[in-house]
Structure 1
Amino acid sequence: MTSTNAHRILLAEDEEAMRAYLERALTKAGYEVVAVDRGTEAVPLLESSHFDLLLSDIVMPEMDGIELAQVCAEVSPRTKVMFITGFAAVTLRASREQPQAKVLSKPFHLRDLVLEVERVFEEQQEASL
């Protein structure tokens, strides 16, 4: 494992099976993962703890992923954002409203998710040099 795998990820996904699946894959890849089932549960964590990445489903009850990303930008501006979604139209909205965020469309292979997360952290590291 490389030192980049010490990154902390906040995972917001309302579907229990998908949340467990993603949490397990990212943990196995060496990341520290905190998983929640809704955006409103993620906000206090963003306010009180440091996360390197917010990985959020877009379509969730109470607060969607785009709203969560907007809050994240205010309370934790250094946290990178990546969206996951199964809806093409939502992908277009995310691209418009959060152009700096990556969007990964469901279904995807776990290997692709881990590669995209690694890419986000590599870009972050290169930008800080």
Structure 2
Amino acid sequence: MAKILLAEDDDSMRDFLAKALTRAGHEVESVADGEEGLDALGSEAGAFELLLTDIVMPGVDGIELARRAAEIDPGLKIMFITGFAAVALNAGLSARREAKVLSKPFHLRDLVDEVARAMEAA
């Protein structure tokens, strides 16, 4: 399956998502914010296949994390999770990148299915 970098500032949500993705057969590294995400990407450039990030986080938010992640690893797939229905995503991402957005609340099956679709599109 996929090696996923999960960036989510809510501890319980991060743990919940990481467990669900691990149960689905993915290898997951979890970080609490965008800064930690950038550190993980920088120290393991090319090691991740998918970035799954919350959009609204303190400090480096998910959109900035995704923009910078795309610079570090242009082949990295990106998915966003958010509790906010209307968020402008294209501001920081290049026109050629497509990113899936899952709005909270979502069913864990939906998350696992979307990750599988993203990886199949690779």
TM-score (norm 2): 0.91
> Partners of 2:72 and 2:57 in 1: how far apart?
20
How far 1:97 moved relative to its partner?
A: 4.3
Unaligned 5+ runs, structure 1: 125-129
1:30 counterpart = 2:28: no
How far 1:108 moved relative to its partner?
A: 0.2
More helix by share: 1
- Could you give the per-residue CA deviations for residues 94-129 of structure 1, whole angstroms, max 9, x where no partner exists? 1554461110000000000000000000011xxxxx
**Contact 1:10/1:51 (8 A) holds in 2:** yes
**Contact 1:11/1:19 (8 A) holds in 2:** yes
Where 2:121 maps in the other structure, the secondary structure is helix
How far 1:47 moved relative to its partner?
A: 1.6
| Aligned residue number for residue 73 of structure 2 | 76
Where 1:59 maps in the other structure, the secondary structure is coil
- Could you give the per-residue CA deviations for residues 73-112 of structure 1, whole angstroms, max 9, x where no partner exists? 111111100000010122xx11554461110000000000
Return the letter of the residue paired with 2:16: Y
> Partners of 1:94 and 1:17 in 2: how far apart?
25
Unaligned 5+ runs, structure 2: none
TM-score (norm 1): 0.87
Give the % identical residues. 57
1:102 counterpart = 2:100: yes
- Could you give the per-residue CA deviations for residues 13-35 of structure 1, whole angstroms, max 9, x where no partner exists? 00011000000000000000000
Where 1:71 maps in the other structure, the secondary structure is helix
